[in-house]
Amino acid sequence: MIGKNIVASAYKDSHETPLQAINPATGLSLEGDFFKANQTDVEDALVAATAAFETFRNIHKDKKAAFLNAIADEISAIAEVLVPRASAESGLPIARLQGELGRTTGQLKLFANLVAEGSWVDAVIDTAMPERQPLPRPDIRKMLVPIGPVVVFGASNFPLAFSVAGGDTASALASGCPVIVKAHPAHYGTSALVGAAIIKAIEKTGMPKGLFSLLFDDGYAIGSALVLHPLTKAVTFTGSYNGGMALVKLAQERKEPIPLFAEMGSINPIVLLPEAINTQAEELAKKYAASITLGAGQFCTNPGLMLAISSPELENFKQVLAAEISKVPSATMLTPGIANNYIKLSTAVHAEDGVELLSASTVKNAELQNQSEAKVAQVSAAKFIENPKLHEEIFGPYSLLVVANNVAELEQVIAVLNGQLTVTIMAAADEIRQYQSLIHLLTNKTGRIILNGVPTGVEVCAAMQHGGPFPATNDSRFTSVGSSAIHRFVRPLAYQDWQQEFLPEELKDSNPLEIFRMVNQQLTK
């Protein structure tokens, strides 16, 4: 049983028609009634979150770490129910979601360890210098502190890892901020199950009530109200460009503008340099056919663009790629809206001047609803450069091959690209040395540059950068994946001339991290 949905206020005895989740593969409704939040729920959630913030921000880091680990444990405990429900609501295979569940709990544990270790607050201490001339220096100590309630929008393509207890929620809670989640309308049941797990972890670890709330809606009203509410201090969003920019505008037009971190799409170009094509044409074609169609192409790092220089070997690459794409079975997309948009955009781009369809999937399952058809097309560099419509993301199992006449023309293609989450270069070592100007152009366009790999797959670690220049994200200084994601929800605060007993633990001279820093300074003098 999915049971009663978890909302900011109590379960509603309402006369309104309940919301129901839909299985995108069958088009049938799934078990569970879920009720739309209203303005009262928004108010209640943010008032409760603000009250919880005053307590949670000062809770010892070890207790916060225990809370994050408890969320991971509670989610793991419902895996047998959660994974099948997530599959039914998304059309994603069980094996994929089992892996995503591991990523979700792994992220929570990563942030638990980060909080327990403590150095992420970037404590800086400049002790007083009363004898300094011509003026004495005061004692100044600075650290990062949480900013307040954070609103998280669940993502369609990761019902676990980028949703209710995903990286945004984990990093916000780790920073000391309460979280209000606006559930994605495709994942009502999944969201309710994970929300209940978080509430259970709050109760088990004695965290303050109001630390977490989950609201449901099938439109835009509640999301807009959450962004505009004066008690909201930051927002995260993963989705379309139009949706992201609409929220960015709302956040900027508030009386008190707030940070809104929007991941809005990327075509993740693959640059196939000549030697790589000359020596690995068949291998690369098979590798990228698999990457393009992985998860029905519904990854934010899906390789939607391939750039290469015309050659006989490239023709071999195209033949193998076309053959591999034709064999890929059609698959259910996440929602009817996403499936319809994919068909619309992929069909429209093939009507553009110079675009030629290379291959499309010929394997279909008549029993499935909302199916994707894998496609690859090609266009000349000159046509690509002059047509901005070809530079836009097509969310799904689609990729466009852009063929240049030479390296100079390839650089012209790169110059017109928008900002990207990832860029991949397939090249030999001597090509890396030879094409430095091309590589420098690429680094200006992306948050992560990959050598001889595929972009699909994002490692959750300290060094990961999942964010790129606009319009991939609206603020390329931050990442939504990895431990650095915590920095989205904090601000620096300096204490001047405070006595030791009144300082935060992280800024006291007795703090183990500060003692280590001071000893290290002495050793390196």
3-state DSSP assignment of residue 58: coil
Pull the structure tokens for residue 1: 């049983």
3-state secondary structure of 50: helix
Give the strand pairing for 140-146 and 124-126. Answer: antiparallel
d(CA 462, CA 177): 20
- Sheet strands (E) in 101-189: 124-126, 140-146, 150-153, 179-182
The phi and psi torsions of 420 (rounded to 5 degrees) equal -130, 155
Annotated catalytic residues are: 263, 300
Nearest to 139 by CA among 519, 512, 516, 508: 508
490-496 and 140-146: which strand pairing? antiparallel
DSSP state letter for 371: E
Please report the DSSP string for 315-361 in residue order. HHHHHHHHHHHHTSBPEE-SSHHHHHHHHHHHHHHTTSTT-EEEEE-
CA dihedral for 296, 302, 305, 307, sign (positive or negative): negative
Q: Which of 226, 421, 217 is nearest to 305 (CA)?
A: 421
Measured CA to CA, the distance from residue 104 to residue 195 in angstroms comes to 13
| Rounded CA separation 122/142 (Å) | 8
Six-digit token string for 320: 């193998």
Own/partner pairs, 136-140, CB within 8 angstroms, 24+ separation: 138/496, 138/497, 139/496, 139/497, 139/498, 140/494, 140/495, 140/496
**Helix/strand number for the chain, H first, E second:** 16, 17
* Rg from Cα positions in the chain: 25
Q: How far is it, in rounded angstroms, from Cα 402 to Cα 422? A: 17
